[in-house]
Structure 1
């Protein structure tokens, strides 16, 4: 098992929506120093054995080998570490819970996690629900070997035709936004893959990032990073603001009881509150320490920048992210909805 992910006290019940970090983040004036909050534990880099390992190497990073241009982020060990750290941020945000939807536990048989990344959520869910079969899918086989017996991973592309049939009781996605070009199609297929009465839950951020107090203006490097990434993703056919249309797409697909909540993940331990500081410190490390790897392909291939331009720009944006007097955050949108019985 994966000691650094699996928590013996993972909450099996749904997180009350009002317990999630709210939309208002208040600045803690005491963070105008170089202090940080907490340390991330080491995480595994063991990969799942698979024939789909024809990786590509660019800009000193490794990328998946399925359909060039489909997904612009790396899949190497550094990215595995980053995704595992990001899982911890979500864990704090949801107070240890794994979902928000009011799932009927006694009716759970099969669960699907689309774009599972390192498989951390699948492993936690499988541990918390040992009688439930959990399937995680992703473009890259970067999940560990040693997992609960009720957990399985396969290489699959959510953008292609789904062949599961009406099978799952719960479908979950988290930070899948940059891997989907047609969310309307994906949500229609998710509707078809759910049993009547089943739930879907979407945990997604969007880019550009934001700042409420004017500490980072539109000409600052960190805010330019957000807008540049948004434009770069568009060149790959990805809308990094797609969550604005999720309710419409869910309704069109046929879902009912559609609900949503919105929060913010701070970039740095600048907000008041221990929970917010912990999230901000880890998320700053998650994004800031990996900013070049997250950005280089999008800015070079998407916007045509030179690697020299990217190097200089990323240094400036990272300096802003690490500046305690600059208070930026990623907007986070969570949706959950039910398929009619």
Structure 2
């Protein structure tokens, strides 16, 4: 399974085996936009669930499959450039963009501007800052790696702690109403006693181990001028600690959704 598809599974499990939480009326769902679609798995599953809706997934990279439901299509686009086109959407969904966007206020504003009246927007994301309730994170290679990862994102002008900030971004930069914020926790491994959290932790551990070296090399070498050898040593230490299950850490994962007023109102942002 592609790591991004595993991340999709993790996030669906996190919110209760659902693709989204917004109270979208399926009968009124005609056009859906999936921002940063990645492998396209969310768009494809939405296309199966809503066969009468047009599902559009966009991303910077063309890594989506060619065989998809007939109501699903993919576009190569940079969501941070100007949004063009007159057709708006009944639902705009984005997820897993933390550390990717340079200008979040403009992004959430554009999302709201491109909704049809009565349409919904949903933002799902996490913070890469790790937390621990029992002190087992302190002084570990995992903590050093997480802190260094976020420092590297800052060098590139990216915020890697966007999840808990989503509600304020939406309230301050859009005219959306019926805004709701639902927070979740995702463990870094299968250490919790709770069966659901343990399942989430196992999914997260697998995707962390698979992606650790790749995105660490990209960010730490490119942003902080680390050598490849330095990165690989840290990754080896992190991998050992993750597999040990002794570091009981977790991430914030936040879902925020809101609705465009049914009557258009001027948006002064």
Fold-level match, TM-score > 0.5? Answer: yes
Q: Does 1:105 align with 2:17?
A: no
SS in 2 for 1:263: strand
- What does residue 213 of structure 1 align with? 134
Structure with the bigger percentage of strand: 2
Contact 1:210 1:330 in 2 (8 A): yes
Structure 1, gaps ≥5 residues long: 1-42, 44-80
Structure 2, gaps ≥5 residues long: 263-269
1:284 to 202, 205, 208: 205
Q: Does 1:253 align with 2:171?
A: no
- What does residue 145 of structure 2 align with? 225
Separation (CA, whole Å) in 1 of partners of 2:85 and 2:240: 46
Separation (CA, whole Å) in 2 of partners of 1:210 and 1:160: 34
Structure with the bigger percentage of helix: 2
**CA offsets, 1:170-205, max 9 Å, x none?**
000110122211010111111111001111111101
TM-score in terms of structure 2 length: 0.94
Matched ranges for 1:262-341 at <5 A: 262-341=183-262
Deviation at 1:166, TM superposition (A): 5.2
Q: Does 1:141 align with 2:65?
A: no
SS in 1 for 2:32: strand
Separation (CA, whole Å) in 2 of partners of 1:244 and 1:86: 19
TM-score in terms of structure 1 length: 0.74
- Residues 243 and 290 (structure 1 numbering): CA distance in 2 closer, same or farther, change over 3 Å? closer
Root-mean-square deviation (Å): 1.2
Deviation at 1:164, TM superposition (A): 3.4
Contact 1:137 1:156 in 2 (8 A): yes
Q: Say how many residue pairs are matched.
A: 261
- What does residue 241 of structure 1 align with? 161
Moved more, 133-142 or 268-277: 268-277
Separation (CA, whole Å) in 2 of partners of 1:260 and 1:93: 15
**CA offsets, 1:254-273, max 9 Å, x none?**
11111101111111111123
Separation (CA, whole Å) in 2 of partners of 1:319 and 1:214: 18
Contact 1:265 1:283 in 2 (8 A): yes
Deviation at 1:317, TM superposition (A): 1.2
